[in-house]
Amino acid sequence: MAVVGTSTKRIDGIEKVTGTAEFTTDIVLPRMIHAKLKRSPYAHAKILGIDTSKAEQMPGVRAVITAADLPDVRLGVLTLDEHLLAHDKTRLVGEPVAAVAADTPEIARAACEQIEVEYEELAPLFDPEEAIKLDPPVVLHEEYEEYEKLLEIAEMDERPPNLWQAYRIRHGDIDDAFKKAEDEGGYIIENRYATGYVHTACMEPHGAVAQWSSDGSLTLWAGGQSPYIARDGLAKALDLSPSKVRVIVPFVGGAFGGKLTVKEGAIAASLAHKAGRPVKIILTRAEDLAATAARTPFIFDIKDAVTKDGILIGRKVTSILWGGGYSGEGILKPIFSTHLYPGSYRLAALWVDSYGVYTNRVSGGALRGYGCAESAWAVETQMDIIARKCDIDAVELRINNLLTEGERTAITMPAHAFSAHECLTKCADAIEWETPSESLESPWYRGKGIALGNKYSFAPTASSTELKVHEDASCELRTSAVDLGQGAYTILTQIVADEFGIEIDQVKLVTPDTAITPFDHVAGSSRQTFHTGNATRMACDDAKRQIRELAASKLEADPDDLEVSGGRISVKGSSKSIEVEDLFVVEMLAGKRPAVDEIIGKATWEVTASPHDPNTGQGEEPMAYMGHGAQAAEVEVNVETGQVRIRRFVSAIDVGKAMNPQGVEMQNYGGGCMGIGIALHEDMCFDANGEMTNASLMDYKIPSIVEMPLNEYMESIIVEVPHQHGPYGAKGAGEIVVVPTSPAIGNAIYDAIGVRIWDQPLTPEKVVKAWKEKQASGNGSGS
């Protein structure tokens, strides 16, 4: 029976509900010692000297390292601007400057306090609009021009010294669009939006365990999103050949973009080398929140030209990503955020200038939705404002502006498997869009909002898998795809079971280990179902081809006339068949062995892409695929306290083919939950020195159950418009589910109380302030 498309229970579930699943935090090795980091208390300072002698003399201390103990290489994702340990300067509070390994975590922490670092404090720079100036008050990276860069940025007459990313879109005649809107009775709508500081706040903090072998090779256990990115990063940081590095990914307690690289792992490895003992490093919650990469804020200035009938004809955007001390995993965000400017809409003219700048705060990283969730906040609030300005229903206005299948977006992405209309209308129906919210007794107000979203999945990219067939006809899939909780292992298992016509429990998954499992790019960009799914099907095909060829002579048939299913190889249209087991022979003392070769199917699925011109944003097919989704919220707002309750929430996403419908529902609800936190209350706060002031889960408020609507008011809708290249037509689901959430909630707040809040999160303080301003002016602000 087919299992693809059914709600197969997660294959790693038993281990997770019984506490036997081993996470990085649970790993214990013989003679293992513990690492702690000495971090900078300053946002910006020169390091004049580091004295580790007192720390080294403490009983129980086994190794102390500083930048001097490490290869002098700069690391990074595409702009290599960061040392593992601060070299001559620190550029954010919490930047590691030294590390200690000791018998216990307590000794290591005490030893860190004994390390004396002499700093010369420098003026910090926090304001992105100051940072982007040609003549900024402070320059963070004086040696920027010397850095190795793997990505071309837009040409500029003169690069502002703190700028690390510039990207432009030049599509159509933007001046003509604004002129047309003015001349023909249309509208020009211009607003500024901002997003806040958000942290992935995974329940499992960042950590790693490092162990060296006597042959000079390193094994690292780390719950990251890509064993191969980790392997290559470690090799570069420690000046090793990648073949000397083995990365094993245990269970991962959430990642959401925050575990792409393993900086702590490289530090642990260096300490382990010096100490000659295995080293474990687990960040404290405070370190995890304050000093690992975050979703840093964007500022969006957006100006739309709209006809009087509500047709969007031109859009001009300037955005700045408030990067931190280092460009990090945020490097592509100023580019990827632009995907939402056309989004699902037809746009004759689009003109974008998108920048990323250094500031002395936490580095910009990835977080579910990677730039798209941020720009959706601006774009989908604009759409609501436009609808109200034109006096057209917000759903109808969006529909009137949608592309159709086969068109290209203003950034040249083909609109294929274009499901925006279906997502939007199904979402609207579910929240009873046509029926206004009931009135409540003051001070409570109720309102509904809706928003559309996209998430593109990046390219170029590739996934390889291997599929070994055993003598009992069970299959073993070797993959470096990572299950971060999203259910990848279960979906890949379902695919193998279906391709071989065997039961789920006859499939064994060999999880990521670079010594065993082949290359897979990353558990990111909603790519594993699509890419690893394809690679898995292809590896199954390859293994079945081998089986047919091996069986052909035994069955006296042409391999093309054979089919493999349920452990049997049969001649099509005949009763002749043999068992997979018959392809193996009995070996004395060794059980059974393959009669010829091991049956191992191999495949690589690769998607190439034509790179976009950074000066025009135009290309051929820039991404692997384009995902669609819509979400709607009904909110209740208390205008006296500013409290916003989500009463009702609908998430309708297109996954092409729901490989595991319950898994999609889990993404719809889980993504909605994270989206609610980001929209309403998640906010990393900093003091005047650039230090995070709410670095605990007590104070950095991720949603708890009370922020969620009651179960009867949660709705998950699965839309299935097959993608021509997806396995079974499938697309990813992991990120689109947080993209429309914030604007849907913001639009609902407007519907309830007639105020706009432009900067996330939409906290009670901001709601009360906006409401009071509206009362004072006797008018709604914004629209």
Partner 1 sequence: MKYPLSLTVNDENYDILVEPYHTLMEAIRDGIGLTGTKCACEDGRCGTCTVMVDGQLVKSCLMLGLQANGKSVLTIEGMGSPDDLHPLQAAFLEHGAVQCGYCTPGMLLTAKQLLDENPNPTEDDIRSAFVGNLCRCGVYTHATEAVLSVAGEENR
Binding residues vs partner 1 (CB under 8 A): 7, 9-10, 12-23, 25-26, 28, 106, 200-205, 251-254, 256, 284-285, 484-487, 662-663, 665-666, 669-674, 696-698, 702-706, 708, 710-711, 714
User: Which residue lies nearer to partner 1 by CB, 335 or 692?
Assistant: 692
In whole angstroms, what is the distance from residue 3 CA to residue 633 CA? 33
Residues 6+ apart with CB under 8 A from 751: 437, 447, 448, 449
CB of 619 to partner 1, least distance (A): 35
Residues 6+ apart with CB under 8 A from 181: 187, 188, 305, 306, 307, 313, 314
User: Which residue lies nearer to partner 1 by CB, 79 or 526?
Assistant: 526
User: Which residue lies nearer to partner 1 by CB, 241 or 711?
Assistant: 711
How many Å separate Cα 775 from the centre of its chain?
40
CB of 706 to partner 1, least distance (A): 6
User: Which residue lies nearer to partner 1 by CB, 24 or 461?
Assistant: 24
CB of 89 to partner 1, least distance (A): 31
Are 514 and 231 in contact by the 8 Å Cβ rule? The answer is yes
CB of 669 to partner 1, least distance (A): 5
CB of 681 to partner 1, least distance (A): 13
747 closest CA partner among 635, 653, 669, 643: 635
- For 195-212, letters b (16+ CB in 10 Å) and e give bbbbbbbbebbbbbbbbb
DSSP per position, 319-388? EEEE--SS-GGGTTHHHHGGGGTTTTB--SEEEEEEEEE--SSSPB---TTTTHHHHHHHHHHHHHHHHH
User: Which residue lies nearer to partner 1 by CB, 282 or 550?
Assistant: 282
Continuous H helices in 629-660: none
Instruction: Tell me whether strands 279-282 and 33-39 are parallel, antiparallel or unpaired.
Output: parallel
CB of 673 to partner 1, least distance (A): 3
Length of the chain: 783
CB of 49 to partner 1, least distance (A): 33
Strand spans (E) along 611-675:
625-638, 644-654
CB of 154 to partner 1, least distance (A): 36
User: Which residue lies nearer to partner 1 by CB, 22 or 549?
Assistant: 22
End-to-end, the C-alpha distance of the chain in Å comes to 55
User: Which residue lies nearer to partner 1 by CB, 376 or 484?
Assistant: 484
CB of 663 to partner 1, least distance (A): 7
Compute CA distances 489 → 206, 507, 604, 659, 660, whole Å: 22, 11, 18, 12, 11
Consecutive H or E run containing 494 = helix 488-500
User: Which residue lies nearer to partner 1 by CB, 21 or 240?
Assistant: 21
Are 718 and 661 in contact by the 8 Å Cβ rule? The answer is yes
User: Which residue lies nearer to partner 1 by CB, 504 or 708?
Assistant: 708
How many Å separate Cα 307 from the centre of its chain?
36
Helix (H, G, I), strand (E, B) or coil at 466: strand
User: Which residue lies nearer to partner 1 by CB, 24 or 338?
Assistant: 24
User: Which residue lies nearer to partner 1 by CB, 23 or 147?
Assistant: 23
- The label of the residue with tokens 């607003």 reads 191
Continuous H helices in 391-466: 394-401, 420-430
CB of 10 to partner 1, least distance (A): 6
CB of 193 to partner 1, least distance (A): 25
User: Which residue lies nearer to partner 1 by CB, 90 or 200?
Assistant: 200
Residues 6+ apart with CB under 8 A from 207: 24, 25, 222, 223, 264, 280, 281, 282, 283
Backbone conformation region of residue 778, classed left if phi is above 0, alpha if psi is from -120 to 50, else beta: left
CB of 505 to partner 1, least distance (A): 13
